[in-house]
Structure 1
Amino acid sequence: MAAAANAAASSKGSLKEDLTCAICCDLFRDPVMLACMHHFCKPCISRYWRGTQGPVTCPQCRKEFSCKQFQTNYLVTAMVEKVRATTSDTYLKNLEKQLKETLENHRLRKDDFVNSIRRDKDKMETIKKLGADLQARVKGEFRALHQILQDEETCVLEQLRREQEEELEKVQHHLEAIELALRELEENMRVLQQASADTENVVVTELPQLRPCVRADIAPEFDINAFCSKYMAPMQYITWRKMFKSLKPGPSPLTFDVDTAHPSIYVSRDKTVVVECEAVIPHMGHNKRFLQCINVLAAQGFQSGRHYWEIEVGTKTKWDLGVASEAVDRHSRIKLSPESGYWTLRVRNGNEYSAGTQPWSRLQLGCSPKRVGVFLDCEERRVSFYNADDMSLLYSFTNGPRGKVFPFFSPCISDNCQKPQPIKLIHYPPVALSG
């Protein structure tokens, strides 16, 4: 590029010499051409011939002419004006300003690329650390299942490894693209810096040729929740569902707490079924009872460890499920939200599923679950909901409760045209999950 700039400067100098009047030794002013094809300033040739009687001669080649005759050369005039403009102080200052601005823009883009590379490397470290943490968690889960689950453990770890590699590969590709773009940018900066330095010695009339900037795509997003969700799930229980004939684990059974049931809720004798009823059931007054909303809690509460339970909802078109803090207000009508002490999933109109955030987070599900699994991880503060038929994740709260919580249920008020349908707690052989 420097050689090209020098060549351009040399060519410019040669052109300036060709457009210089041989009489005044300056750029042509109002250039005219004699019959011998030599050019001079009109005032210069007029002064040169002033007082001459008879034939005149060309000052350059000494050719004689019978009369004082010349013609204006508009093409040379235009060329002279262009050279004069491109060698002016104003033009050179503007060119120097453009060089500085272009260099500064490249510096800013370099900073962006450097920052993007740093973020990519940090992201890769996060992925690696998460991958290592998840591998340790998976191994811990599978140690409790011993040799019978060795094949399943290997399968899950391989899937995690592939997903980790896929995530790392995405970021690696972006990192390589950014590094390539950075190298191209630095090369352009070198050329611009050289051109900027050359302006002190030679006349530069245009920006040097730059390499086209490599397009840098937006850095791929890394969804930590999506990456972690299947490995933060109740893995022992999921595996047990796959190997039911060989194993006999299951979640600890829950029962409904009659003392918390709204007066419009009927609780079965074995405390595993609740259903909304039209008549108000007389209950002994109790501070634990819900009075404004059709709610009920489980008798069992949790404040440590990991716990999983399932609820059969069948074809009910309205319900709310989840967990509630021990200290929730049970006598007022409030919104079900984490801010109020509730982490819930709900359905309305049979297929409108939402997570109990504020505002509600609408969920798009492929099918309506007949059984819903709730997984509570007190240490990780996670509350997750699953379609218990295939253990697909429906929603997960990652900023879950602190302190003691109870499984929460609401059969809701049924539509007038429908017969109230029950909610049922599903009991399996009483084998508690580890933790």
Structure 2
Amino acid sequence: MSAASCLLTEDQFLCSICLDVFTDPVTIPCGHNFCESCISKHWKTNTSCQCPNCKRVFNPKPELHVNTFISEMSAQFRQSIHVSVRMCEKHDKLLELFCKNEQMCVCMLCSVKDHRTHDVVPLREEYEGKKAELGKTEAEIPQMIQERRLKIEELKESVELSHKKADREIDEVVEVFTALKESVERSQAKLIHTIKEKQRETEEQAEGFITELQQEICELEKRSSELEQLSCSEDHLHLLQNFTTLNAAPPTKNWTEVRVHPPSYEGAVKLFEAELKRVQQCEVDVTLDPDTAHPKLLLSKDGKQVYDSDVKKNLPDNPKRFNCCVCVLAKQSLSSGRFYFEVQVKGKTEWDLGVVRESINRKVRVSLSPKNGFWTIWLRNKNEYGALADPSVRLRLRSDPEKVWVFVDYEEGLVSFYDVDAAALIYSFTACSFTGKLLPYFCPCNNNRGKNSAPLIISPVNHTE
């Protein structure tokens, strides 16, 4: 029986009335088969007992009996369909249609109830279409594989060239910075030696003066003792004979004019300036990014100046813009190597300067500290300087800087601030742990009714020949 079932097609097990697998199949005299309930219902709704397929009329109405053979075969077929998941779980009907809208197989009842507005086609039609597409894709796959293999070879060659170029650049960088490091070390040693020599000369000069003064003190004490003895003497002759000699003023310098001047460190300044020239080779042409500027800030057309206008403009919000702090970032970023720029702060009573991590929160007010991604210094109340470290550090400067030099060494984890005109270090953040890109940070602070109206100006480095 199983061998015979393999020769039968799917259509031979379907009732032509309900289009489903036979349930209690019966055979009418013309030889066509139907579900017992389907043909009985059909004859009840019609005036004559007619075959739905061949239209043959039977009179009288034939007696119906279940065809056990077809019933058995239908049961096996139904079971095989369930095993291959060809039946609709919702309606227990054969999945013979395909909904293109939802890309799923459906039965006749599904198409009428749940998918009536969708594009539904016979399952076999969709199958043939997909099979044709698969055949086309199968034919194209070898070419696609070949194209990708060629691309892999191309990428490998590109990576190899990039690797060689990177090695050359690394060698050049190592050579340059090794030479720079050696030069800095030599300059440092020379500077320390110069300062120590000048300090030694100062100390020797002071010791010489002290020795002379001590000798004169001893001489004066001796003269005082002799004069005291003479004044108490009753020998008139002795007093007259020695009065002129003992009463004469002892020879001495005019010590009020003697000064020990601190050593001059002009040599140290010159060495600093020499190192400054080398570091200036890392200068970056920094321009301000208007998309990050707080709505109260005004930027110059060339992107080199910024100040607080005291008026909040109606600007479109974007993820890059600061909403709480009156600050702005630069367009240029740093994720390796060295970075150098100068900012004029002349005439301002308050400002913040430094670099920040690109990922900082720009929509809320946060404390400016390295743990929050800020490496900055600031000025408050005209002459109160601070470094916003963890914790903050109060800075005592000899003079108020008019131009600040900001220098970053990404690999060394270093952010340094210098007073350019005084050739003096203001503050350094060391052993920093940088991740991602760093951006220059500028905060001109509030206008304060015109008291702090001067702009922060990104100035070009004045390279000396």
Q: TM range, normalised to the smaller chain?
A: 0.3 to 0.5
- Normalising by the residue count of structure 2, what TM-score does the alignment of the two structures yield? 0.42
Q: Could you say which structure has the greater relative contact order, defined with CA pairs below 8 angstroms and 6 or more residues apart? A: 1
